[in-house]
Structure 1
Amino acid sequence: MKHETANSQHLKVFTTVVETGSFSRAATQLDCTQSVVSYTIASLESYLGVSLFERTRRRPVLTQVGRAILAEARNIEMKMLDLRARTSEFKLGVETELSVVVDVMFPSAHLTDVLVRFARSFPNVALNIRIEALGGVLQMILDKSCEIGVSGVIHPWPDTVEVAILGSAELVPVASPRHPLANVTGTVSMSELRNHTQLVLSDRCAITKNQDFGVYATHTWRIADLTTKHDLLRTGFGWGTMPRDKVSKDLETGALVILNLGSMRSISYALHMVTRIEEAHGPAADWLAKELAIPE
């Protein structure tokens, strides 16, 4: 018998004796004879050079050293169980690590829910999450920084990626109630929109360089961070579109209001699953790709 395997077996017998409170009950639980249990404990004591149980008692009572070693033995057992679980996952092809990039417009509550369930389903997979805007998602797929991407529409899609629709996020045009556009009676006209600074989400990606998405005003501020855009809107400077879920509390409290732009009062922002065609995915990636689909 190999030395490492014997140590693992020794610790299992030791903890079982402690848990059952009896050599005979430990033998029954381990499906072996009491003599095997006694021999294994004696071998472990000999190997460690200490006494684990007091020999003057009828029932097995741990010595002081035995109590100290028990905690370590249980810790090693837990690590062995975790190692076996990981080994089983590896045999099934489960990834050890997965990198995902998600469009900043993706509904936050749904993303959080999926990630929590992913952690439960794949506790041993290290997950790297990136949040990007516009072409930044596609860029990270193309340069192989991430295996899975959730992106808005890109025209045209490169031939090297596979694209599948996930659903859409709702964007709404908002401004502070102090902003002049918030106080327009009736529908805000396009000419009125053009006269006020629009805050536009942008990125530094070459893929979407010089491309505009939903820009109507002649004067714009381009901001690469959605949080900064949100903060500026709340101050009363400029107007712009935001994911409804990210401004829902502001709409409830009146910190922001939805501008009446007629047919543009609500905008559907299509989101797609993007992967490299040549990329082979394991069970964790397949699970994530399926669960990220946005409920209607």
Structure 2
Amino acid sequence: MDKWSALKMFVVTAQLGSFSRAAEQLGKTPSALTKAVNHLEAELGSRLFERSTRRIVLTEVGRLYLETARQVLQRLEEVGEEVEQLQHGLRGNLKVTAPLAYGQAFLDQVCDGFLEQYPQINLQVDLCDEFVNLLESGYDLALREGHDDLPGLIARVVGSNRLALCASPVYLARKGRPVNPQTLEEHEWLLYRHPLLSREFWWVERDGQRLSLPQPQAPRLRSDNYDLLLANALAGRGLLHTPLWSAAPYLADGRLVQVMADYEIDPDSFGPHILAVYPSHRRATAKVQAFIDYVGGFLARHGLD
């Protein structure tokens, strides 16, 4: 029996927990899947499933074998893609996940340019702020803020995650007060709510001196959606901590002004970098590398490397 087909039938059966449902998904008969699993079990000399009239359950050997079988099938698929790309150029599907705020800030432009440069690649880009487990989700790549010492993952730095404290000229004129560590409590704030961020303090550094500044306890607007806060900052509603990759075009055209610019703001748990991340057990294919290089090049051209 074809080993590749047998492995695929075993993996789908294990995922669905049923020979009949797996057979329906694969367009096979249940007996064909049973035969494939029996073949693998005979080869191993050990059972992969405990079977009953109601259900099948992976054995300890089966759980171990499933993890390896998934990796083998994934790698075979990747090698097939790489061979095809060597022969015919970059093509196929690329599945990417990234934070919501990356979309409007730069990822929409990245996708446009990338699709123009690689007309035979189809992109799926899913934007969400929830943590996505790359080892289980099926994504080829994630763009993230953070640190590059992630277990089970390979992370390449593609940009900077420096923060700035910004406000619109309209707000600053209306408030009529300078912005410095002594006057922060006199100002109106737009506060990003996120479980990784401290609710008590934010940190800055100037001339080698590190300062802890209190978070505003009664902001004019608090939200877990950064784009909503940015829109209100542009409308003149208050001060906002914003990544430079987001604020750059508004600083350039004068719709935002950076205040306390001589202070370096600590990005806290978000980390100092924008990262392109993929599972360490999967070698990045040519199309993944091409996307990573394109993102890094785009951010560098806009001074955000």
For Structure 1 versus Structure 2, the TM-score category normalised by the shorter chain is 0.5 to 0.7
1:166 maps to amino acid: V
Inter-partner Cα distance in structure 2 for 1:102 and 1:132: 6
Query: After superposition, where does 1:37-48 map in structure 2 within 5 Å?
Result: none
How many Å apart are 1:169 and its aligned residue? Answer: 4.3
Is 1:192 aligned to residue 183 of structure 2?
Answer: yes
User: Structure 2 counterpart of 1:146, which letter?
Assistant: Y
Q: CA deviation at 1:174?
A: 1.2
What is the rounded CA distance, in whole Å, between the counterparts of 1:98 and 1:116 in structure 2? 14
Aligned-pair RMSD on alpha carbons?
3.9
Gaps of 5+ in 2: 1-82, 203-213
User: Within 2, Cα distance between the matches of 1:113 and 1:249?
Assistant: 13
Q: Among 130, 135, 147, which residue is 2:140 paired with?
A: 147
Inter-CA distance 151–193: structure 2 relative to 1 (3 Å threshold): same
For residue 215 of structure 2, what is the amino acid of its counterpart? Answer: A
Q: Structure 1 residues 260, 210: CA separation in 2 closer, same or farther (over 3 Å shift)?
A: closer
Question: TM-score, normalization: structure 1?
Answer: 0.52
Q: Does 1:124 align with 2:120?
A: yes
Alpha carbons of 1:108 and 1:126: their partners in 2 closer, same or farther (altered >3 Å)?
same
Shift of 1:125: 2.4
| Structure ranking higher in strand proportion | 2
Q: TM-score, normalised by structure 2?
A: 0.51
Long gaps (5+) in structure 1: 1-86, 204-208
Match of 2:155 in 1: 163
**1:240, distance to aligned residue in structure 2 (A):** 0.9
- 2:9 maps to none
Between 96-105 and 245-254, report the one with greater CA deviation: 245-254
Look up the match of 1:227.
227
Q: How many residues align?
A: 199
Residue aligned with 2:94, SS: strand
Q: Deviations over 1:62-121 (max 9, x none)?
A: xxxxxxxxxxxxxxxxxxxxxxxxx95496695632111234565967645543343244
Query: CA separation in 2, counterparts of 1:261 and 1:183?
Result: 18
Q: Rg larger in 1 or in 2?
A: 1
Q: Structure 1 residue aligned with 2:277, among 268, 271, 274?
A: 274
Maintained 8 Å contact 2:101/2:227: no
Structure 2 contact 164–261 (Cα < 8 Å) conserved? no
What is the CA–CA distance in structure 1 between the aligned matches of 2:198 and 2:290, rounded to whole Å? 34
CA offsets 1:258-289 (integer angstroms, 9 cap, x no match): 22353148989421121111234322112112
Q: CA deviation at 1:292?
A: 1.9
CA distance in 1, matches of 2:94, 2:223: 29
Identity %: 14
